[in-house]
Amino acid sequence: MSLFFVAEGEAKDRFVVVIDAGHGGHDPGAVANRLKEKNINLDIALKLGKKIQQNCSDTKVIYTRSKDVFVTLKGRTEIANKAKADLFISIHTNSAGNTSAKGTETYIYGLEQAGINMEVAKRENSVILLEEDYTTTYQGYDPNSVESFIMFDFQQNKYFEQSIHFASMVQDQFRILAKRPDRSVRQQNLLVLRLSAMPSILVEVGYISNSSDAAFLAKDANRSKLAESIYRAFIAYKDEWNRKKVSEHVDRESTVPTSGTIYKIQLMASKKKLSLQDPCFKGLSPISYYEENGWYKYTYGESPSREALSGKLAQAKRYFKDAYIVSFKGGKKQK
């Protein structure tokens, strides 16, 4: 059920954020310590949406649900895709057999490395088993099968950079503002992220299976803090988005070719030539390389401004802790 409708072809001049409260209706999500996940998710979603509406006149907020109703995973992403949303934020609450697990996690779409458990993906994707015709809707997708993970292609890959960037800002705020234990940004094959055609994250605001997290989540003031954390990350993300839009515009208008220095982020060196799509680059794009003293040296991103690369550098350092900025002039690396 779509609560909002955007006519196709309608000009979109505002930033559109879709806020997705996980579960709802006959699907309570995780249940523990007298709490139901669906209620926590909805409360934080509405608090976040309200904050954005009050403070950002340039943003349109769309909820996948604004009350206690069931919405299919596909229905949720259809709302976002139809609205041509710029950002998708799915809000969930975690649960684990190990009741000592606590803290917040933020997920982006990706195929997790072998060996990492698929608990969250299995649980969040298994919601489709509650949908009447899931076998036809999801073309044989079985949330419990590993093979099903591979069937899905990497559509979300092109939003990987923006998604991971926003996800890490949200985790930072959860840690700094809401003082939650930081369980970091993770990648999993989450259907609700996989099917959405825009930068997308799924936050797990805490473990209701853990008594201290549950006590925290039960308090209205604390749920406000979590909403405020996501809100602050959202503001930072949207500011960058606005600046990028302006600079893209300037780029298009500019007819003078840049002959100055170009900066890139050096990630690693290898004796062997690698494909630029090699998984060792963790989905970072664009990757390029140059040769030096018999080594292939791989770089990420490029800009005529060193400062403009600082966000990308921070992102690269998550995977390549020794990443640093190198400069080129006339195609030659500068010493």
Which chain residues interact with Zn ion by CB under 5 A? 22, 29, 92, 124
Residue 209 CA to residue 101 CA, distance in Å, equals 8
Residue 107 or 281: the one with the smaller Cβ distance to Zn ion is: 107
Q: How many CB atoms lie within 10 A of CB 148?
A: 17
As a whole number of angstroms, the distance between CA 196 and CA 209 comes to 29
Residue 65 or 92 with smaller CB distance to Zn ion = 92
| Cβ atoms of 156 and 201 closer than 8 Å | no
Decide whether 92 or 102 has the Cβ nearer to Zn ion: 92
CA-CA distance, 61 to 17, in Å (whole number)? 5
CB of 232 to Zn ion, least distance (A): 23
We find the least distance from the C-beta atom of residue 23 to Zn ion, in angstroms, to be 6
For residue 92, the minimal CB distance to Zn ion (Å) is: 4
Q: Which residue, 20 or 124, is less far from Zn ion as judged by CB?
A: 124
Minimum distance of Zn ion from residue 116's CB (angstroms): 18
Q: Which residue sits closest to Zn ion, CB atoms considered?
A: 92
* CB of 39 or CB of 315, closer to Zn ion: 39
Which CB atom, from 27 or from 86, has the smaller least distance to Zn ion?
27
CA-to-CA distance for 304 and 260, rounded, in angstroms?
7
Hey, what are 53's tokens?
């509406």
List the beta bridge partners of residue 266: 299, 324
Q: Can you tell me whether residue 91 is helix, strand or coil?
A: strand
Residues 6+ positions from 109 with CB-CB distance below 8 Å? 156, 160, 163, 187, 188, 189, 190, 193, 194, 200
Shortest approach of Zn ion to residue 95 CB, angstroms?
A: 8
Strand partners, 106: 185, 203
* 20 φ/ψ angles, rounded to the nearest 5 degrees: -115, 105
Comparing CB distances to Zn ion, the nearer of 92 and 223 is 92
What are the percentages of helix, strand and coil residues in the chain, rounded to 5? 40, 25, 35
Contact 198, 85 (CB under 8 A): yes
C-alpha to C-alpha distance for 66 and 4, rounded to whole angstroms: 11
